[in-house]
């Protein structure tokens, strides 16, 4: 049976819960032809020049990358060594690119959990919400018997999805009042008097880019001549980009740093003193999240001088093996996940995986 790019994207969107990505993160299908047949898939850490050469040489037509290739908006795609130049080469070669990034960070079993596992943490829990796209809560009021069809219409338009759950809603009972004036044709109640009717309040979340469709569906499906509805901006249903847990026994800081180096590699920098038993981990660049850390130590990448100073001043040790190293266990988990969906997935996760090299 033929698998298209669109088929693969639909599977990835569900499996990687792509709606949980941070709102600033350009995840999902970055470019490619949705109707093109998928005959060869590869997984990489990021789409470097070396990865581009491998993708084209091996005739891959769908690349799943942890880091997005096109991270910032671009107004042109011109051949060259820039990110947009690499995108031009891949588009010209018929290669579609799908990125997971923060969606996979927050996913159970994804990058954050993989890093916690590599650091041998127990009793793991999440912290540091990765807030998604601007969301809206759409609220309306209707007679109870009409709520199921109203909910279905709004869900079909894109409301009520939380992660991999659809048709999510909240209902409460109450009484609505209204006075139908001249020229009205009320579905319930009488003209010229204040009516009180039993109604159900229906609330559903909708992504901002689907708001117009959801509101249009609500109005079309609503039994009232003049439906009442509210739209409220909300921050909701975030996944957690960090993990915290405990070691089986306390370790001196130097020994804990050796454990991190042995398990995930990288070029390790260490700040602070031990002992270490409670640990936070943040894959990638976690310096901006150190203010949320309350454990003995934190493992993350790209920590600046001043961020390390502040953490140590609060009694928190820092182990920084580098940006790519903290993501590497998660990238291996990504390859394993895609390999479980498709046969013969090409492993490019070690191609140009880290710009920093040991000397």
Pair 62, 52: CB distance under 8 Å: no
Pair 334, 100: CB distance under 8 Å: yes
pLDDT digits (tens, 9 = 90+) for 165-202: 999 999 999 999 989 998 888 888 888 899 999 999 99
For residues 16 and 64, give the distance between their C-alpha atoms in angstroms, rounded to a whole number. 12
Tokens of 235: 């921050």
pLDDT digits (tens, 9 = 90+) for 39-96: 999 999 999 999 999 999 999 999 999 999 999 888 899 999 999 999 999 999 999 9
The backbone torsions φ and ψ at residue 222, rounded to the nearest 5 degrees and listed phi first, read: -70, 140
pLDDT digits (tens, 9 = 90+) for 123-144: 999 999 999 888 999 999 999 9
**Residue appearing with tokens 């590497």:** 328
* Count, residues in the chain: 359
Compute the C-alpha angle 262/266/271, nearest 5°. Answer: 85
Q: What pLDDT band is residue 359 in, cutting at 50, 70 and 90?
A: low
Share the mean pLDDT of the chain.
95
Phi-psi region of 252 (alpha: psi -120 to 50; beta: other; left: phi over 0): beta
For residues 157 and 73, give the distance between their C-alpha atoms in angstroms, rounded to a whole number. 27
Grouping H, G, I as helix, E, B as strand and the rest as coil, residue 301 is strand
- Listing DSSP states for 232-289 in one string gives EEE----EEEEEEEEEEEEE-HHHHHHHHHHHH-S--EEES---EEEEEEEEEE-GGG
List the helix and strand counts (H, then E) for the chain. Answer: 10, 15
Structural domains in the chain?
5-100+329-348 (3.40.1390.30), 108-130+240-321 (3.40.1390.30), 135-234 (3.30.70.120)
Q: What pLDDT band is residue 163 in, cutting at 50, 70 and 90?
A: confident
């Amino acid at each position: 049976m033929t698998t298209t790019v669109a088929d693969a994207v639909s599977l990835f969107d569900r499996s990687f819960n792509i709606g949980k990505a941070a709102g600033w993160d350009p995840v999902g299908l970055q470019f490619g032809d949705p109707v093109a047949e998928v005959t060869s898939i590869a997984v990489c850490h990021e789409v470097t020049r070396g990865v581009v050469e491998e993708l084209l040489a091996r005739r891959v037509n769908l690349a799943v990358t942890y880091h997005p290739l096109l991270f910032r908006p671009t107004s042109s795609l011109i051949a060259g060594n820039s990110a947009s130049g690499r995108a031009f080469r891949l588009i010209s070669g018929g290669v579609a690119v799908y990125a997971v990034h923060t969606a996979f960070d927050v996913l159970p079993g994804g990058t954050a959990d993989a890093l916690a596992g590599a650091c041998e943490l127990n009793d793991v829990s999440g912290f540091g919400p990765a807030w998604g796209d601007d969301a809206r809560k759409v609220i309306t009021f209707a007679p109870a018997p009409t709520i199921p069809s109203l909910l279905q219409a709004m869900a079909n338009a894109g409301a009520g999805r939380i992660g991999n759950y659809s048709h999510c809603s909240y209902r409460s009972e109450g009484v609505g009042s209204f006075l139908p004036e001249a020229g009205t044709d009320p579905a319930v109640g009488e003209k010229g008097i204040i009516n009180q009717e039993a109604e159900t309040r229906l609330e559903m979340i909708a992504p901002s880019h689907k708001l117009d469709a959801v509101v249009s569906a609500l109005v079309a499906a609503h039994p009232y001549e003049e439906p009442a509805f509210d739209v409220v901006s909300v921050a909701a249903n975030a996944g957690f980009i960090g993990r915290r847990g405990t070691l089986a026994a306390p370790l001196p800081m130097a020994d804990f740093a050796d454990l991190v180096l042995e398990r995930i590699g990288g070029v390790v920098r260490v700040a602070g003193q031990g002992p270490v038993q409670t640990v936070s981990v943040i894959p990638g660049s976690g310096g901006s999240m150190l203010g949320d850390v309350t454990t003995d130590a934190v493992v993350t990448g790209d920590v600046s001088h001043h961020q390390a100073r502040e953490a140590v001043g609060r009694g928190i040790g820092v182990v920084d093996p580098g940006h790519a190293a903290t993501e590497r266990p998660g990238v291996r988990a990504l390859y394993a996940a895609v390999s479980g969906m498709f046969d013969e997935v090409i492993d490019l996760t070690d191609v140009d995986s880290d710009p920093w090299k040991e000397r």
